[in-house]
Chains A and B, each alone.
Chain A
Amino acid sequence: MSTLLTVRVALRALGANKMRTALTTLGIVIGVGAVVALMSVGAGSQAQVTAQIQGLGTNLLFVRPGSTAVGGVQTGAGGAATLTLTDAQALAQLPTVADAAAELMGFGQVVGQGQNWNTRLLGITQSYLGVRNATMARGEWFAQDDLDSRTPVAVLGSTVAQRLFTEGDPVGQAVRITARGGVGGSFRVIGVMARRGSGPFGDQDDLIYLPITTMVVRLFSQRAVSGVPQVSTINVQVADQALIDQAVAEIGEVLRTRHRVDTDDFTIQSQQEFLEAFNQILGTFTLLLGAIAGISLVVGGIGIMNIMLVSVTERTHEIGIRKAVGARRRDILAQFIVESITVSVLGGMLGIAVGSAVASLLSRVQLPSATGGAATALQTLVTVDSIVLAFGVSVAVGLFFGIYPANRAATLNPIDALRSE
């Protein structure tokens, strides 16, 4: 029997039971819609993270203390266990390196204008602004002199500025910062950072920048053995993308020499690796969301199977007639499979539309930040992949759940089918 005719027969059969067809289709619409909408959330956060990581700067390498060796001795005998500010200065001298900026992370409480706020403290070097591609909203960035003389000055992230200074310009104001595990000190605000946005990494603006030297001396009263501050990360900007591999090798060599170790007591991660690691996690997350939603698609498929079984039972006599006038197994099989695929494809297409609509509604939702910072928009992204996947899965569902009832109809003995009324 021609495909076109089979489809027409299927449509007529479906049209004969509009309510039933509509409800069965609804099951698939919900399933596919859920897959599309939830995957759009996953894909959206993936896009957001990608943008954020790319926004960190260009051709960046992140050097952190600690080796990646598993189960082995972490540091070489007699070597320095940590990265220091002078390591950063040494790396900046490498020909393949454009610049290097050290950072030291801490936590603390800040009080200004009677408001108080818990936030992250980031001790950095002067080159940080350039390396990390950041811009100022107002005031100015640290001068090298601030680092050299350990001046008590601070640049606020925009969230912190908003929290502490509900009105008026924070620049020029004094704040009191008390580091967790350290002591307190008074700082003068010299600038406010432009918003960097927030996302899966958290609020990128909920922090205070301090000169690393000032932070170490004033807040932690700490001096390294050599009198050089330790750092938690060195952000290295490689001069050119093509030089990244070479830069990684050179940095490793310099650090091993400086630390007098044979095995790395530090880890170098490129922006690309960072991105890939996150994408892998988020990709898994997206698939997980899709799989959860896929369960409802399976439920919808069972609905199709149920209706097809009812339909086969109802039309057993008709199947008998068709067989008596010469229908082959495959004619009957095709008829019912086309019917169930029609339902699932129809449901799939509507589901994609509904899922996309839900995705665009979700992207208007403002999520309150967990830390009380600025509200975040939930980013959603309906990808072609997810549409192809949802559509393919819905066809597969129709096929899979249609085969059993269709086969049951097709293998009926003609006379048994004819006898049933």
Chain B
Amino acid sequence: MSADVIIRVEGVTKVYTMGEEKVHALRGITLDIVRGTYVSIMGPSGSGKSTLFNMIGGLDRPSDGEVIMEGFRFGELSSGQMAWIRCHKVGFIFQSFNLIPSMTALDNVAIARIFSGLTPAQARRDAAGSLEQVGLGNRMDHLPSELSGGQQQRVAIARAIVNRPEVILADEPTGNLDLRTGEDIINLLGKMKMDLNITVIFVTHERDIAYHTRRIIRLRDGRVVADEPVPDGLFLEAERTLAAAAAAKAAPAQPNGGRSLGAPSADARRAAVAP
């Protein structure tokens, strides 16, 4: 494996057995992801995007084939070792946020840090840092139900980055958000990728969002049907659109309708992403 390939997927298949019927969600996927790249996975509904995402993140195991991350062959790892991978190597972001409803934003982020072995006090301190990074420094003690969708997704991003993972996996992170908020989130992910030098892979339906990445992998019926770089022109256009949107939003200084104190600085940072 060459040094800069962080994830290698080798002939991964996944078959779900539903009674008599067999569902071939993945029919043999092979691909390499280079460290530090920004990759999107596209494809129609049911094409196996989420299934692949779960395999790459070690949430599920393939029926056949192998996922290798930084030299760790998932097939050879115990469930405890897989937990270690999920804890230290991967940060997940889901369409439905997946926050624990009974915990504050701070604790939702801290919990990931605690599983990595820190004391609650240390975990909280780091969690607070992550929340500041995503512009939620003033919402730490709110329960998920007291946050907007965009804010909840930011908490999820804070949680995903708190353990300083190598890879962020985001399955339709904007799927439950309106376009504007979705763009904020994408922008934030892009910034995190830059700041932390993380590999970001996300699943999306939306072409415009996919154009923010440098590579698009298209799936259909459990197979890779296209895997190509995003032309520079499209990428830059997408970046410009976002930067403009961010700048437009920075003016009213009321992002996401919140009375956010940390928001202006977050917006300033977001604006800095613009080329």
Residues on A facing B (Cβ under 8 Å): 1-2, 4-5, 12-13, 16, 317-318, 320-329, 331, 413-415, 418
Contact = CB atoms under 8 A, between A and B. Distances in A.
B202 interface: no
A315 to B, nearest CB: 9
A413 to B, nearest CB: 7
Nearest to B160: A325
B59 A325 contact: no
B80 interface: yes
B99 A322 contact: no
A322 B98 contact: no
A328 B83 contact: yes
Contacts of A323: 59, 83, 86
B80 A326 contact: no
A414 B115 contact: no
Interface in B75-118: 79-80, 83-84, 86-88, 92, 94, 98-100, 102, 111-112, 114-116
10 contacts: A13-B102, A320-B98, A325-B92, A325-B111, A325-B115, A325-B159, A326-B163, A331-B115, A414-B86, A418-B59
B241 interface: no
A322 B80 contact: no
Given A318-B100, A327-B115, A328-B115, 15 more contacts: A4-B120, A5-B114, A5-B120, A13-B102, A321-B100, A322-B100, A324-B92, A326-B88, A327-B83, A328-B83, A329-B79, A331-B115, A414-B60, A415-B59, A418-B94
B91 to A, nearest CB: 8
Contacts of B100: 318, 321-322
A16 B115 contact: no
Interface string B160-191: 00010000000000000000000000000000
Nearest to A320: B98
B120 A321 contact: no
A320 B116 CA distance: 16
A326 B120 contact: no
B256 interface: no
B80 A329 contact: yes
A421 to B, nearest CB: 9
Contacts of B59: 323-324, 414-415, 418
Interface residues of B, number: 26
Contacts of B115: 1, 322, 325-328, 331
Contact of B99 (A13, A321, A328): A321
B197 interface: no
A413 B61 CA distance: 10
B98 A418 contact: yes
B116 to A, nearest CB: 6
B45 interface: no
B80 to A, nearest CB: 5
Contacts of A318: 100
A327 B79 CA distance: 10
Which 4 A-B residue pairings sit nearest by Cβ, starting from the closest? A326-B87, A325-B112, A326-B115, A415-B60
Contacts of A322: 100, 111, 115
B119 interface: yes
B30 interface: no
Nearest to B60: A415
Nearest to B115: A326
B262 to A, nearest CB: 23
B54 interface: yes
Contacts of A418: 59, 94, 98
A325 B54 contact: no
B70 to A, nearest CB: 16
A332 to B, nearest CB: 10
Nearest to B117: A1
A328 B80 contact: yes
Interface in B30-59: 54, 57, 59
Contacts of A415: 54, 59-60
A6 to B, nearest CB: 10
Contact of A321 (B83, B98, B116): B98
Contacts of A1: 114-115
A326 B123 CA distance: 14
